[in-house]
Amino acid sequence: EIVLTQSPGTLSLSPGERATLSCRASQSVSSSYLAWYQQKPGQAPRLLIYGASSRATGIPDRFSGSGSGTDFTLTISRLEPEDFAVYYCQQYVSFGQGTRLEIK
Amino acid sequence: QLQLQESGSGLVKPSQTLSLTCAVSGGSISSGGYSWSWIRQPPGKGLEWIGYIYHSGSTYYNPSLKSRVTISVDRSKNQFSLKLSSVTAADTAVYYCARGSYGDYGAYYFDYWGQGTLVTVSS
């Protein structure tokens, strides 16, 4: 079983800043299997990125994904107020524990 | 636009069986190339995949829950269902149904989700 570890647990930033979220796998995984989700309070997760770097339909281009092997990154280039949420990475049927992005 | 909607009992007694249904609209559950999953989220915690089913009826369950989980599909009603037996307080969670899609080079991701339903296990 592959374990996904996300860091940091909480990230405090201001609107307009750049956010970098990390997802590390316990063993090398195909980048095709890596996806990222955004979840706001009381809502279901929303798919942002699949195949490590492909944006899902309707996702703004300030969201980008990268990485390979065991290390993957979600970058939000310039934070908007609506981006403050919890972010999860996923590989096949395993999820990371999440990173909470909060307003500083 | 595909939509998924969970329904079922919101309160289940310990040791009993949790039963939920996910109604799919805007698309056919019999369409090939997708899996239909249940995923749960305990209050304040992360996401845990429970299992999925294909339109053919083939299933794959989380090994940690396998002995208690049954997922079935009703193609005539365009819905799939979850049964989780012998529940305890640890099974209290928001339960989501979701569609798993397969992309290029083996990509796998959950692109459509229901809004979730809270199930509380309590006497």
State the DSSP string of chain B: --EEEEEE-SEE-TTS-EEEEEEEESS-TT-TTEEEEEEEE-TTS--EEEEEEETTS-EEE-TTTGGGEEEEEETTTTEEEEEE-S--GGG-EEEEEEEEEE-GGG-EEEEEE---EEEEE--
**Which residues of chain A does B42 touch, with a Cβ-Cβ cutoff of 8 Å?**
none
Q: What is the DSSP letter of A53?
A: T
Mean pLDDT, rounded, for B19-46: 95
- Interface probe for A, chosen from B50, B61, B71, B109 (most Cβ of A below 10 Å), is B109
**Which residues of chain A does B62 touch, with a Cβ-Cβ cutoff of 8 Å?**
93
Per the omega criterion (within 30 degrees of 0), is the bond before A81 cis?
A: no
Q: What is the pLDDT of residue B55?
A: 83
Q: What is the pLDDT of residue A32?
A: 82
Of the partner residues B37, B46, B103, the one whose CB lies closest to the CB of residue A50:
B103
| pLDDT tens sequence across B85-123 | 999 999 999 999 999 998 887 889 999 999 999 999 999
pLDDT band at B2 (very low <50, low <70, confident <90, very high): very high
Which regions in chain A score pLDDT beneath 70?
none
Of the partner residues B48, B109, B115, the one whose CB lies closest to the CB of residue A47:
B109
| pLDDT tens sequence across A5-35 | 999 999 999 999 999 999 999 999 888 889 9
> What distance in Å separates the CA atoms of residue A23 and residue A83, rounded to the nearest whole number?
18
Q: What is the DSSP letter of A56?
A: P
Of the partner residues A37, A56, A93, the one whose CB lies closest to the CB of residue B49:
A93
Computed over every residue of chain B, the mean pLDDT equals 95
Kindly state the tokens that stand for A93: 């049927």
pLDDT band at B33 (very low <50, low <70, confident <90, very high): confident
Alpha-carbon dihedral B80, B100, A74, B41, rounded to 10 degrees? 20
